[in-house]
Every structure is written in structure tokens, then in C-alpha cells.
Amino acid sequence: MLKIRLTRIGKRKEPHYRVVVIEHTKAAKGKFIEILGFYNPLADPSVFKIKEDRLKYWLDQGAHLTATVKNLLKKEKISVSKK
């Protein structure tokens, strides 16, 4: 099963995250299929960017959102409804 989740990058005490498509059995920092966007929680205001067309593609392919990514999308008012 594919998951759309965050994976941490950046230095210690300076977290940045990528939004990636990854197999659910892989490690959090494991090899991912595609980078969909990024999230910087330390910026003021926090920055969240995602490729909406690729997000919709992967959702149509059966990928599932993690709770954190779903909450970030809701906060940015990005619709993730399936067909």
C-alpha cells in the first residue's frame, strides 16, 4: 500500500519536511517514489507547498494520506476528494 507522508530533512533543531509517496513498509527515511512537495514549520508563517495535480494522481492510484498530511492539506484548504 502506498502512503503520502512527511519525511524529515534538515539539520538538528531545524526541521524541514518533504511530502513523498512511499511504500508503507519502507523506513521513514527510506527510498521514496516521488517528491510531491515540502513543509517548513519554522518559517513565519509556516510554508507548505504541494503539487496538487500529482497529489490527485497518486490518490487516484490508491495512495493513502497520513493524518499529518491530511491535516496540513485541510489547513491550506486544499481539497483531496476522490472521484
User: Residue 81: its pLDDT value, please?
Assistant: 67
Statement: residue 13 has pLDDT above 70: yes
Percent of the chain with pLDDT strictly greater than 70: 96
pLDDT reading at 77 higher than 70: yes
Strand 2-9 to 47-50 pairing: unpaired
- The x, y and z cell numbers of residue 11, run together, are 539539520
Flag whether 42 is in a domain. yes
Domain total for the chain? 1
Residue 31 confidence (pLDDT) above 60: yes
Give the CATH number, domain containing residue 12: 3.30.1320.10
- H-run or E-run covering 52: helix 52-60
74 burial type by CB count under 10 A (0-12 exposed, 13-18 middle, 19+ buried): exposed
**In angstroms, rounded to a whole number, what is the distance separating the alpha carbons of residues 30 and 73?**
23
Query: Do you know the residue count of the chain?
Result: 83
- pLDDT score for 25: 85
Query: Is 60 exceeded by the pLDDT of residue 44?
Result: yes
Residue 82 lies in a domain: no
Q: How far, in Å, CA of 44 to CA of 3, rounded?
A: 28
As a whole number, the mean pLDDT across the chain is 91
- What range does the domain containing 61 cover? 2-75
